[in-house]
Amino acid sequence: MRHSASEHPLDPSGYDAELRRHDQVLRRACGVRLHDHVLDIGCGTGQTTRQAARTAQAGSALGVDISAPAIERAREFARSEGLRNVTFDHADAQDHRFPQARFDLAISRFGTMFFDDPVAAFANIRRALRPAGRLVMMVWQPHERNEWAVAIHRSLAGSKGPVAAASAGPDPFSLADPPAVKEILGAAGFADITFTDVHEPVYYGPDVAAALEWVRGFTCTSEVLKRLDPTAAARAVGRLREALAAHLSDDGVWVDSRAWIITARCH
């Protein structure tokens, strides 16, 4: 029940602002070094890739995403910032032919939950890493632990129950279960797999109107609203507006969330 980094490719400020607290946590966990070569999976418009490049001044950063518009925007931002050690590819990390044993570190900010075949995808990423390479990614914890997801789901379901608000498309919570993720990453050739709890809110905008517009752009929201008749859709939007208003504070609309920082090393 969530858009990925590439679903709002022409409004990067919104997505990057939404995850500002998470971004700080991820940067600390990644620990990018001066000479590192970094691979950023599902990079969207490239904020995390450019951050890595600025730290790895004697190395490089490559960002990949399945959204062509997002990649174009990422390139524009990199050019405007004068970054010479960062590149972006329009590619699916599941089967893209990365240079083998090229990268010291693979990172991702909510960009790894949507693979059709996660074992194949992470095995492909592992092959791109050097023997001592690291994987550091942020993913959502289960739906019920994320207040933003619960609030949206309840608002869209209304009196018709959860079936009416069934999530459309890929599952953003596909990597929420530690035992399942350990099995996936182990099969893909990773070891020393750890999970760190991240308890930070998401930011949806300076006021309720901006937050509502942002949340209506989520795939899970827009797809459900499309299936409802106009009257039911209007009622659902009203409930969603009320739910967001309940989270309005002096500095905008913030909603609680829970994520994992998952780290692993190549075998």
Contacts of residue 164, Cβ cutoff 8 Å, sequence gap at least 6: 156, 157, 158, 224, 227, 228
Given a cut of 90, is residue 14 above it in pLDDT?
A: no
Q: What dotted CATH number matches 12-142+171-203+255-266?
A: 3.40.50.150
Are 110 and 19 in contact, with CB atoms under 8 Å apart?
yes
Given a cut of 70, is residue 244 above it in pLDDT?
A: yes
Given a cut of 80, is residue 8 above it in pLDDT?
A: no
Are 92 and 67 in contact, with CB atoms under 8 Å apart?
no
**How much of the chain exceeds pLDDT 70, in percent?**
91
Element (DSSP H or E) covering residue 31: none
- Convert the pLDDT of each residue in 188-212 to its tens digit: 999 999 999 999 999 999 999 999 9
Given a cut of 90, is residue 5 above it in pLDDT?
A: no
> Averaged over 203-227, what is the pLDDT?
93
| Cross-strand pairs, 39 | 62, 106
Given a cut of 80, is residue 4 above it in pLDDT?
A: no
Are 123 and 189 in contact, with CB atoms under 8 Å apart?
yes
DSSP-assigned letter for residue 159: G
